[in-house]
Structure 1
Amino acid sequence: MRVKVGVAVVAALALTAAGLGACGGDDGKEPVGLAQVASTLGPGEGVLNLLTLPGVTETGQVDPRVDWVTPFQERTGCEVGLKVVKTPAEMADLMRDPDRRYDGVAAPPEVAGQLIAENQVVPVNTDLVDGYKKLEPRLRGLLKKDDKQYGVPYTWGVNLLMYDTRAVPPPDSWAALFDPAQARRYSGKLEMRDSPLAIAEAALYLKGKRRKLKIHDPYSLTRKQLAAAGRVLAEQRPHVGDYWERPADAVSAFAGGRAVLGQAGPYQVDVLNRASRPVQGAVPSEGMTGWMDSWMIGARVQHPNCMYQWLQWTASPDVQQQVAEWTGVAPANPQACSGDRLKPGFCAAYHVGDRDYIDKVMFAHAPTRACGGKSDENDCTDYAEWTKTWIESTKT
């Protein structure tokens, strides 16, 4: 597999000085060195600096067989410098730092939305990304703003109700986790994602339970709606055995019998099923939430040509196959399931290419105050308020 490069002989992104600090988009200011949108692509600069969360980009250090960085370097001459952070909050802080110049970032939804709003990333010229149109159409539309595309889909997944079939009847609603009477039945054996975005599932429960709250988008909540979701989580907390950060933690809890019901994804269901554990994943009647990670171009990009080559590389079917198998997520490129790449069982379990299924997913986006309200009473809450509510409801 070769990365295709355009015929232009000049670099695509001109860096322009724009003040002395990295400022948010609300005041109209731009970060230092804000890059313009690429129109052509030239030779690689020989270096590429990337920012990711653990496990998102592999160099063979964890497992020599798992490495999609070294082949990229060999084919393009772009030496990859990789900064791995532990949390989305740390990732967002580094992208805001005017003294840091990351060419690209593999952003989860809560980070992606913030970076777009604060002008810390620039639009992508998708005409320069070979294979872009092969990516799932629904995913491609998730990071558009003002008719501009701000990211290239990388991986995606959904949030399900996972249950031990020996202990729990098939659940059909988020009420199984959030209704106090139902949660009490399995007290101490509930598993919850440790993420402020998990508030959205509580909001979906309230959408059906308390219609007067008028919840429409579970990721766009007024202060009243967010407070109600916080109370649901606080009431649930005594019955939660663990709030998991790493997907493997949820697998261990169910495998060891410490959990019988909780939030999980196809990865945990698949791993436990292959180990002959009696678990299933259920789609709640209120709907399922989901997420997408995407590659984005930093506003202070120094090596734009190498970055565009990286976007092409990571969107290709062969790399998408490796990423999906290693991380246990769905590839954004359905062609990863073609030929002899991913096994049919994997693709079926993760619903790769199933557009009817994907169209039903409520994909996460960064909560923001700008949701169309005309008064303070109707304004939505932002991610900082969600984080505060999550901590107060589950940690204190």
Structure 2
Amino acid sequence: MRVRATRRVKVGAAVAVALALAAAGLGASGGGDDKEPVGAAQVASTLGPGEGMLNLLTLPGATEGGSTDPRVDWVTPFQERTGCKVGLKVAKTPEDMAGLMRDKDRRYDGVAAPPEVAGRLIAENEVAPVNTDLVDGYKKLEPKLRGQLRRDGKYYGIPYVWGVNLLMYDTRAVPQPGSWAALFDPGQARRYSGKLVMRDSPLAIAEAALYLKGKERKLKIRDPYSLTPRQLAAAGRVLAAQRPHVGQYWERPAEAVSAFAGGRAVLGQAWPYQVDVLNRASRPVQGVIPSEGVTGWMDAWMIGARVQHPNCMYQWLQWTASPDVQQQVAEWTGVAPANPLACSGDRLKPGFCAAYRVGDRDYIDDITFAHAPSKTCGRAGKSEEAEKSDCTDYAEWTRTWIESTKL
């Protein structure tokens, strides 16, 4: 079962759906002993000549070399400029990605990791720290994004793309909602029974936790991604009560677009992507930030702990952080670029940048960005209850999600 939506859908295709209503130090190669222990790669201190190869791991659509659409290619120019030939492995799901990174017989130089994967790879020493001084343009990336993968004073990723989880509604059928209660309160959800949509991801539990944070203050929820067993169980009950009213748990963004476009959905979780696509197709939908706040996510490039081609990897980090490449990635994937300079000049259209709130620091600062749930209550500090108890990890979140929405 896929438990997390793949975001990689070409925007133009979704518009059509809507309209149709349907590790050695750098300077030496890390390619010696395959029995090198996990986590042996250290923070690089210098940048040397490229090794001629680069092995990357991504989710579908995150890295394009022209095979899907010959006009969409930021791999070939990189190879021509650096001499680093890119070998690309596409994982079907985040769980597949995590499993491949753990495989001691594989040595990926880099991985474009979503939050539920990134945190676990750091905890398991499957990725190496990044020397951000070796990444040109790093300080141009959004400040809040740069801090998402900082642990014990070290940085473990270079921000790639980001987004936010909004509450989207059909303005013809639903009065403007002001709270997540519109989606999670049983009485309110019943009004639109069968026409609610939810992301099919264990991390969607966090929105239920935001709802409970305001409604059940005795639970003392602070960080919606750091939940004690009691808090997680409460969120699970909310999702189980909501389940009879959910018409679809969407995996691919285009599925939510199609549901709203065809009138099969009027309220649900969505990204700015779906709001933008439907608005451009003249559909009467809006995305709002509920009073309890919103969650968000960031994908980042990380260096594998068994990196074999570190110099080429650092060149790739620089390449993918550059404004021109960020512009291509944002247009293709329909997500916000981590580098606001992608919106400078004539790179991205002003309407796109406005829709995704690129460069709006006040907006970004109010987002609670996702991190992998862990027993140690994550990186954001413990709640009052968590100070007396361990938190729940991603495996427990996955089990709760399945029990609440699938069984």
Q: What range is the shorter-chain TM-score in?
A: over 0.9
AA at the equivalent of 1:11: G
Say whether residues 1:388 and 2:404 are aligned partners: no
What stretches of structure 1 of length at least 5 have no aligned partner?
1-8, 21-29
AA at the equivalent of 1:334: P
The answer to whether the 8 Å contact 2:30/2:309 transfers is no
How far 1:11 sits from its partner (Å)? 1.8
Tell me which residue corresponds to 1:304: 310
How far 1:34 sits from its partner (Å)? 2.4
Q: Identify which of 242, 250, 262 aligns with 2:256.
A: 250
Does the residue aligned with 1:197 lie in a helix, a strand or coil? helix
Tell me which residue corresponds to 1:321: 327
Distance between the aligned counterparts of 2:133 and 2:33, measured in 1?
Answer: 26
Q: Identify which of 20, 27, 41 aligns with 1:11.
A: 27
Distance between the aligned counterparts of 1:391 and 1:10, measured in 2?
Answer: 44
Deviation digits for residues 2-43 of structure 1, max 9, x if unmatched? xxxxxxx962675786967xxxxxxxxx52x72121111111
Distance between the aligned counterparts of 2:136 and 2:184, measured in 1?
Answer: 44
AA at the equivalent of 2:212: L
Say whether residues 1:230 and 2:236 are aligned partners: yes
Say whether residues 1:167 and 2:173 are aligned partners: yes
Does the residue aligned with 1:67 lie in a helix, a strand or coil? coil
Tell me which residue corresponds to 2:291: 285
Q: Identify which of 183, 189, 192 aligns with 1:183.
A: 189
AA at the equivalent of 1:232: V
Tell me which residue corresponds to 1:57: 63
Distance between the aligned counterparts of 2:30 and 2:46, measured in 1?
Answer: 11
AA at the equivalent of 1:197: L
Tell me which residue corresponds to 1:267: 273
The answer to whether the 8 Å contact 1:15/1:36 transfers is no
Say whether residues 1:202 and 2:208 are aligned partners: yes
The answer to whether the 8 Å contact 1:12/1:38 transfers is no
Does the residue aligned with 1:191 lie in a helix, a strand or coil? strand
Distance between the aligned counterparts of 2:246 and 2:43, measured in 1?
Answer: 47
How far 1:62 sits from its partner (Å)? 1.1
How far 1:81 sits from its partner (Å)? 0.7
Deviation digits for residues 38-88 of structure 1, max 9, x if unmatched? 111111111111000011111111111111011111111111111111111
Q: Identify which of 84, 90, 95 aligns with 2:96.
A: 90
Does the residue aligned with 1:110 lie in a helix, a strand or coil? helix
The answer to whether the 8 Å contact 2:227/2:386 transfers is no
Q: Identify which of 351, 360, 369 aligns with 1:363.
A: 369
Distance between the aligned counterparts of 1:91 and 1:206, measured in 2?
Answer: 31
Distance between the aligned counterparts of 1:214 and 1:391, measured in 2?
Answer: 25
Tell me which residue corresponds to 2:145: 139
Deviation digits for residues 99-140 of structure 1, max 9, x if unmatched? 010000000000000000000000000111011111001100
Percent same amino acid at aligned positions? Answer: 82
The answer to whether the 8 Å contact 1:12/1:41 transfers is no
Q: Identify which of 99, 104, 107 aligns with 2:105.
A: 99
The answer to whether the 8 Å contact 2:52/2:312 transfers is yes
AA at the equivalent of 2:182: A
The answer to whether the 8 Å contact 2:228/2:386 transfers is no
How far 1:178 sits from its partner (Å)? 0.3
AA at the equivalent of 2:228: T
Deviation digits for residues 344-364 of structure 1, max 9, x if unmatched? 111111010000000000000
Deviation digits for residues 166-198 of structure 1, max 9, x if unmatched? 100001111011000000000011000000000
Does the residue aligned with 1:226 lie in a helix, a strand or coil? helix
Does the residue aligned with 1:262 lie in a helix, a strand or coil? strand
Query: Normalized against structure 1, the TM-score is what?
Result: 0.93
Tell me which residue corresponds to 1:379: 390
Give me the CA root mean square deviation.
Answer: 1.7
Deviation digits for residues 259-297 of structure 1, max 9, x if unmatched? 000000100000000000000001010001000000000
The answer to whether the 8 Å contact 1:159/1:263 transfers is yes
Q: Which has the higher contact order (CA 8 A, sep 6+)?
A: 2
Say whether residues 1:157 and 2:168 are aligned partners: no
Deviation digits for residues 205-245 of structure 1, max 9, x if unmatched? 00111100000000000000000000000010010011001
